[in-house]
Amino acid sequence: SDPGLVARARAAKEALGDRLFVLGHHYQRDEVIQFADVTGDSFKLAQQAAARPEAEFIVFCGVHFMAESADILTGDDQAVILPDLAAGCSMADMAARRQVDECWDLLTDLGLAEDVVPITYMNSSADIKAFVGEHDGLVCTSSNAERALRWAFARGRKVLFLPDQHLGRNTAVRDLGFDLSDCVTYNPHKPGGGLTPEELRDAKMILWRGHCSVHGRFTLDSVREVRDRVPGVNVLVHPECRHEVVAAADMVGSTEYIIKALDAAPAGSAWAIGTELNLVRRLAGAHPDKQVMFLDKTICYCSTMNRIDLPHLVWSLEELVAGRVPHRITVDADTAHHAKVALDRMLALP
């Protein structure tokens, strides 16, 4: 990365001292992640957001829903800053509050809503988290989805899982032993979700039809191809991948899990990793004694994670030094109240 920008980022961080706390998701670019005080998966970053109450400014190097969650979980006197406001998430955009309310109205009309516990993946907007909080549900991340589902099935007979159909399906089938036929996919663009009342009545998991376009690129062919090419390879994927990819993999877990699995792997072992490319490249660099490769042949960055680059980070930090607060992410008090209920339930999972 540009040495001039690196020096400017260092100088600004030093000038801000303890007033500044920088969080970085594992999918961030190398040039950015080097300035994070804490790196983590979505769960760890949600926990860590509240860890520095004395910091006036939390610069969130990640995507919009993560910064919103950090704002919800921190005090009003702490400003959460997203260095580029265009760093959204296409999956989070696949569930709008109006659509989810419509789905709930349908379930209510069918007399099913009282049996349903809603769960939203962290990768959703604050008003979806608020919906879930208002309806006695909770948030989950890829590192606690199994515990969240068990929590929900201890309280209801069905789960409405938003917005990632793959995380919902993979967790229900892999970790809870459900059949694929226990899951239905609700399409918000079709009347009735594209499902019959009987299908909704019989389903244990009602999966919102959302997905991650980055992880959606990995296919069963990617797994077969790497197994043919590299005998003995360990296939390790993120649970946002499609079900058939997860079913064919050797190990599945969150970004933090993937990092720990590589740390624990023996020298000489081979790993094909199905997740975002910045992380896979960093793992390859950190483990020269292992063969670490990307699961697919086509490259696969998360374009919105990549919006946060060194120029944006430097600009944000220098604005703070100059006494201005750029790109502050705020959630209105009512939404934040209900969303916090759902986030706190996740943070309290055993």
User: Residues comprising the binding site for iminosuccinate?
Assistant: 25, 42, 121-123, 142, 238-240, 255
Q: In the set 78, 142, 185, 316, which binds ligand 13P (CB under 6 A)?
A: 142
**For the window 22-61, what string marks contact with ligand SF4 as x by the rule CB under 6 A?**
----------------------------------------
142 makes contact with ligand SF4 (CB under 6 A): no
Q: In the set 9, 33, 89, 313, which binds ligand SF4 (CB under 6 A)?
A: 89
Q: How many residues bind ligand 13P (CB under 6 A)?
A: 13
Closer residue to ligand 13P in complex, CB, 120/200: 120
Alpha-carbon gap, residue 270 to 230, rounded angstroms: 8
- Residue indicated by tokens 């159909």: 165
Alpha-carbon gap, residue 147 to 43, rounded angstroms: 13
Alpha-carbon gap, residue 113 to 13, rounded angstroms: 50
Q: In the set 74, 78, 99, 123, which binds ligand SF4 (CB under 6 A)?
A: 123
CB-CB contact of 103 with 193 (8 Å):
yes
Enumerate residues 187-226 that contact ligand 13P by CB under 6 A: 212
Q: How far is CA 287 from CA 31, 266, 282, in A?
A: 19, 10, 9
Burial class, 189, CB count within 10 angstroms (exposed 0-12 / middle 13-18 / buried 19+)? exposed
Give the nearest distance from C-beta 63 to ligand SF4 in angstroms: 5
Q: Which does 42 bind (CB under 5 to 8 A by kind): ligand SF4, ligand 13P, none?
A: ligand 13P
Give the nearest distance from C-beta 301 to ligand SF4 in angstroms: 9
Amino acid letter, 24: G
141 makes contact with ligand 13P (CB under 6 A): yes
Which residues lie closer than 8 Å to 342 by C-beta, 6 or more apart? 120, 129, 130, 132, 133, 137, 138, 139
The first and second tokens of residue 216, run together, are 């959606």
Q: Which does 34 bind (CB under 5 to 8 A by kind): ligand 13P, ligand SF4, none?
A: none
**Which residues partner with 24 through β-bridges?**
39, 61
67 makes contact with ligand SF4 (CB under 6 A): no
The first and second tokens of residue 153, run together, are 């099935």
- Interaction site with ligand 13P (CB under 6 A): 26, 41-43, 123, 141-143, 212, 238, 240, 254-255
